[in-house]
Amino acid sequence: MYQAVKGTQDILPADRAYWRYVTEQMHAVSALFGLQQIDTPIFEETSLFVRGVGEGTDIVDKEMYSFQDKGGDDLTLRPEFTAGVMRAFIEHGMHVLPRPVKLYSIGPIFRHEAPQAGRYRQFHQFNVEMLGEMDPAVDLDVMSVAWMLLTRLGYRGLNFQLNSTGCRKCRPGYRAALVDYFKAYEDRLGDVDRRRLAINPLRLLDSKEPAVQPLLDAAPHSADHLCDECATHLAGLRGYLAALGMPYTINFRLVRGLDYYTKTVFEVWAEGIGSQSAVCGGGRYDGLVEELGGPPTPGIGFAMGIERVIASLKQQGITPPALAEPRVQVSPLGEAARLPAIRLVNDLRAAEIGALLAFGGRSLKSQLKSADKAGVAYTVILGDTELANGVAVVRDMASSQQETVAADGIVDWLRARVIRNT
């Protein structure tokens, strides 16, 4: 028997109400912020991600689904949105648009990770980017998208984890301070962390190795190494966050996995959802567009894991609005009633009333049973007697009351009683 590939999952109809609810809120909140939707292809040239995400990151080193296609091109299933969105921004000359250029995307992401609860190999993200502005008010705008969305979804106990990782000017000094610090303890580091120390020392700050944890407390903080520009930027953002009363914690260990971040980095942690508590993470990437061959363009964005959002909504007992379902079944009894029944179902649907036809010419009893299972509010029964008299019998499924209604008035009769599907 075939099974879904490890780390992937089917999104079954039973979960659809959550997906619809969450993605509809994503579109609605995006519209409030003037974000415009962009869809980029699911695969891109491998080198785009190597360059954009950066060597020495978990994504590039271990997690990419890379392959050569039949034409010999090196391609990769997108392990994140930003690099592809930046590629599209450059390719379509979007830097000439009014700034900031605000873009969002929703779609699948692929990472070869060790599957576990809340961690999959195919998962979905809501991704937001705002390009072309250095103003820390844009950082606030981006963070507010996440804040407003999660709040509207019903989250309580949200907290931003905030840090600044500096810029091209001040990060080298911080990097050197980190290397100095960790060099003294190199013998305590495992292979992975020693490699990080050589290639990407900032990554040591989010090392999960138990041996490294005691070293982290005394490690230098990036905030103490910021240049004036970065310090002013962070102070500006903190002022705005305070003005809006958005709670946050300065977390000096927050560096985020990707190379391209500059200045602001943040995650949103939701209370009480266990170890995979980060539902969203992002930050500023002022050098990325240029790194990918475009004009110098600052930018900031975040990505939110949709599966993780839905899992935590469930854990918090938040239920989405039910999806529209057919409210009427039409049950023909006997051959003569079949065509009128088919026409009636068609008329009901055209009037935006969801309707099911009882198939297969079964007994009335069995048709009513399936109507109950389908959860419809009314069953329209059409038999020979009804046809002869130009009427139909309508059964209220909850009360089992039956009423005779003129056949040509039945759509209006039902329209007055059931919720329309759209």
Interface residues toward ligand ATP, by CB under 6 A = 80, 111, 113, 118-120, 123, 125, 257, 276, 278-281, 303-305, 307-308
- Using alpha carbons only, how large is the chain's radius of gyration in Å? 28
Pairing, β 402-406 against β 391-396: antiparallel
How is 371-383 classified by DSSP, letter by letter? HHHHT-SEEEEE-
Q: How far apart are the first and last CA of the chain?
A: 39
Q: How far apart are CA 299 and CA 296, in angstroms?
A: 10
Q: How far apart are CA 181 and CA 199, in angstroms?
A: 15
User: Which H or E element spans position 17?
Assistant: helix 16-32
The single-letter DSSP state of residue 242 is H
Q: How far apart are CA 244 and CA 242, in angstroms?
A: 5
Helical spans, DSSP H, in 92-167: 136-153
Alpha-carbon dihedral 365, 357, 355, 329, rounded to 10 degrees:
-10
Amino acid at 82: T
Q: Are 200 and 175 in contact (CB under 8 A)?
A: no
Give the residue with the Cβ less far from ligand ATP, 9 or 370.
9
Report the nearest approach of ligand ATP to the CB of residue 323 (Å): 24
Residue nearest ligand ATP (C-beta atom): 305
Give the residue with the Cβ less far from ligand ATP, 284 or 308.
308
Report the nearest approach of ligand ATP to the CB of residue 413 (Å): 48
Q: Provide the CB-side half-sphere exposure for 50 (13 A, CA).
A: 9
Report the nearest approach of ligand ATP to the CB of residue 159 (Å): 14
Give the residue with the Cβ less far from ligand ATP, 94 or 142.
142
Give the residue with the Cβ less far from ligand ATP, 193 or 307.
307
Q: How far apart are CA 200 and CA 95, in angstroms?
A: 30
Report the nearest approach of ligand ATP to the CB of residue 278 (Å): 4
Q: How far apart are CA 155 and CA 238, in angstroms?
A: 22
Report the nearest approach of ligand ATP to the CB of residue 43 (Å): 18
Give the residue with the Cβ less far from ligand ATP, 6 or 92.
6
Give the residue with the Cβ less far from ligand ATP, 118 or 132.
118
User: Which H or E element spans position 51?
Assistant: helix 46-53
148 φ/ψ angles, rounded to the nearest 5 degrees: -65, -40
Give the residue with the Cβ less far from ligand ATP, 139 or 307.
307
Give the residue with the Cβ less far from ligand ATP, 276 or 370.
276
Q: C-alpha 156: how far from its chain's center?
A: 18
Report the nearest approach of ligand ATP to the CB of residue 89 (Å): 19
Q: C-alpha 181: how far from its chain's center?
A: 38
User: Is the omega angle on the peptide bond into residue 41 within 30 degrees of 0, that is, cis?
Assistant: no
Report the nearest approach of ligand ATP to the CB of residue 307 (Å): 5
Report the nearest approach of ligand ATP to the CB of residue 355 (Å): 38
Report the nearest approach of ligand ATP to the CB of residue 300 (Å): 13
Give the residue with the Cβ less far from ligand ATP, 80 or 286.
80
